[in-house]
């Protein structure tokens, strides 16, 4: 394993120092906790929006702190939840007097630590409510959707909820629209290679040459099935069919789409996949209203892609159009 790093167990700290220097016009590191990234300009009286999770998924989570996006994030070690004290500090940083919404992916460690941090915040007089993204349809059956993990679909939750908050919505209104967004979002990943945790130094699983793993997790969790590698047109169609069937999309609906690389996939290949994906939905008379193609939620250097689809309504469309400016996504 060859990497640009100093010590494997210090790579997150070193990353955060470099990140803060590179983007000091938009964000800063909390003076109380060096694993909390905070927006430079917080709007008084607005619901604060916080997220957080393990490192290795960049630009998620720190890349989504910015204008009309997240106010603060808690940053964990590679593929590890931030501790409760880090989430708590993020709540303190984001609070502007209207309460805080914590919007994060549905993983056991994050759930436990966020709930502990909410109790700590209550002692400070700060009201915090939360929503968990559970868009990964491969991580649990549809009958147990509450057990599914959150992956790239979190971006839609953040973008829509943050837009709502910046328009002056209450905490309950922000939580409501975040949950409604989650309810209408599905994702599925396909992996072509594994990834290596820097402090470990070797791949933590293997995908054999000439095969692909459908439904692979962002931390190397096993997928639904291993198949022979197929042409991109067939892969794009199969990914789209999984989501269409699980989300129960019907003729004439509109959707927003994310095709996110997993860290090691050339942008060229993501656009090849997207071409097949939009063609498939068009063949089912489902219109792609808005699309995002690039690295949005990654898994270190894994080769592969995640397809995320959001069923749209007029309110979602309006909020998706609100301009944002952060490292992970820019939209005028």
- Which domain covers residue 95, as residue numbers? 6-182
Nearest to 35 by CA among 69, 1, 65, 2: 65
Instruction: Looking at the structure, tell me whether residues 31 and 88 fall in a common domain.
Output: yes
Report yes or no on 274 lying in a domain.
Answer: yes
Q: What average pLDDT does range 319-326 have in this prediction?
A: 97
Model pTM above 0.85: yes
Instruction: Looking at the structure, tell me whether residues 194 and 146 fall in a common domain.
Output: no
pLDDT in tens, 26-61: 999 999 999 999 999 999 999 999 999 999 999 999
Q: What is the CATH number of the domain that holds 213?
A: 3.30.1180.20
Instruction: Looking at the structure, tell me whether residues 144 and 86 fall in a common domain.
Output: yes
- Distance separating alpha carbons of residues 11 and 328, to the nearest angstrom: 20
- Distance separating alpha carbons of residues 250 and 242, to the nearest angstrom: 14
- Distance separating alpha carbons of residues 250 and 237, to the nearest angstrom: 16
Examine the pLDDT at 257 and tell me if it is beyond 90: yes
Report yes or no on 98 lying in a domain.
Answer: yes
Instruction: Looking at the structure, tell me whether residues 145 and 192 fall in a common domain.
Output: no
Report yes or no on 254 lying in a domain.
Answer: yes
What are the CB-based long-range contacts (under 8 Å, 24+) for 236-240? 236/273, 236/274, 236/275, 236/276, 236/277, 236/279, 236/280, 236/307, 237/276, 237/277, 237/280, 238/214, 239/188, 239/190, 239/273, 239/277, 239/305, 239/307, 240/276, 240/277, 240/280, 240/281, 240/307, 240/309
Instruction: Looking at the structure, tell me whether residues 223 and 109 fall in a common domain.
Output: no
Instruction: Looking at the structure, tell me whether residues 113 and 67 fall in a common domain.
Output: yes
- Distance separating alpha carbons of residues 323 and 290, to the nearest angstrom: 14
**Domain-terminating residue out of 182, 201, 224:** 182
Report yes or no on 78 lying in a domain.
Answer: yes
CA distances, 225 to each of 73, 211, 274, 313 (Å): 34, 10, 22, 33
Report yes or no on 330 lying in a domain.
Answer: no
**Domain-terminating residue out of 166, 182, 198:** 182
Beta pairing partners, 324? 331
Number of structural domains found in the chain: 2
- Distance separating alpha carbons of residues 226 and 236, to the nearest angstrom: 16
**Domain-terminating residue out of 158, 182, 206:** 182
Instruction: Looking at the structure, tell me whether residues 164 and 194 fall in a common domain.
Output: no
Q: What average pLDDT does range 171-182 have in this prediction?
A: 98
Report helix angle 108-123 to 84-94, nearest 10.
50
Mean model confidence pLDDT for the chain: 95
Active site residues: 57, 219
Residue 287: HSE in the Cβ half-sphere, 13 Å Cα cutoff: 7
Question: pLDDT band for position 122 (50/70/90)?
Answer: very high
Is the CB of residue 116 less than 8 Å from the CB of residue 162? no
Nearest to 244 by CA among 204, 217, 278, 273: 278
pLDDT in tens, 59-75: 999 999 999 999 999 99
Is the CB of residue 219 less than 8 Å from the CB of residue 260? no
Instruction: Looking at the structure, tell me whether residues 151 and 204 fall in a common domain.
Output: no
pLDDT for residue 320: 97
């Amino acid at each position: 394993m060859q990497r640009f790093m100093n010590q494997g167990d210090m790579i997150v700290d070193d990353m955060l120092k470099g990140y803060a220097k590179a983007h000091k016009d938009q964000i800063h590191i909390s003076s109380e906790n060096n694993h909390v990234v905070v927006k430079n300009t917080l709007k008084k009286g607005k619901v604060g929006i916080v997220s957080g999770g393990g490192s290795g998924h960049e630009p998620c989570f720190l890349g989504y702190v910015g204008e009309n996006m997240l106010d603060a994030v808690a940053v964990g070690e590679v593929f590890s939840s931030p501790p409760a004290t880090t989430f708590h500090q993020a709540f303190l940083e984001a609070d502007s007097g209207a309460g805080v919404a914590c919007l994060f992916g549905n993983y056991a460690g994050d759930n436990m630590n966020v709930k502990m941090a909410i109790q700590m915040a209550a002692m400070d007089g700060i009201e915090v409510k939360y929503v968990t993204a559970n868009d990964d349809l491969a991580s649990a059956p549809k009958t147990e959707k509450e057990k599914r993990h959150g992956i790239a679909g979190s971006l839609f939750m953040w973008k829509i909820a943050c837009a709502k908050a910046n328009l002056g919505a209450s905490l309950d209104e922000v939580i409501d629209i975040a949950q409604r967004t989650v309810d209408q979002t599905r994702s599925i990943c396909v992996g072509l290679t594994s990834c290596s945790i820097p402090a470990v130094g070797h791949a933590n699983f293997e995908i054999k040459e000439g095969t692909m793993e459908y439904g692979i997790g962002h931390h190397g969790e096993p997928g639904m099935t291993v198949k022979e590698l197929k042409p991109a047109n067939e892969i794009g169609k199969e990914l789209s069919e999984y989501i269409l069937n699980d989300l129960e999309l019907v003729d004439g609906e509109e959707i927003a789409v994310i095709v996110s690389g997993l860290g090691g996939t050339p942008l060229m290949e993501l656009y090849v996949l997207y071409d097949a994906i939009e063609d498939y939905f068009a063949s089912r008379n489902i219109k792609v209203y808005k699309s995002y193609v690039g690295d949005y939620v990654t898994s270190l250097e894994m080769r592969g892609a995640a397809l995320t689809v959001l069923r749209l309504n007029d309110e979602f469309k309006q909020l998706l159009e609100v301009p944002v400016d952060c490292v992970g996504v820019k939209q005028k």
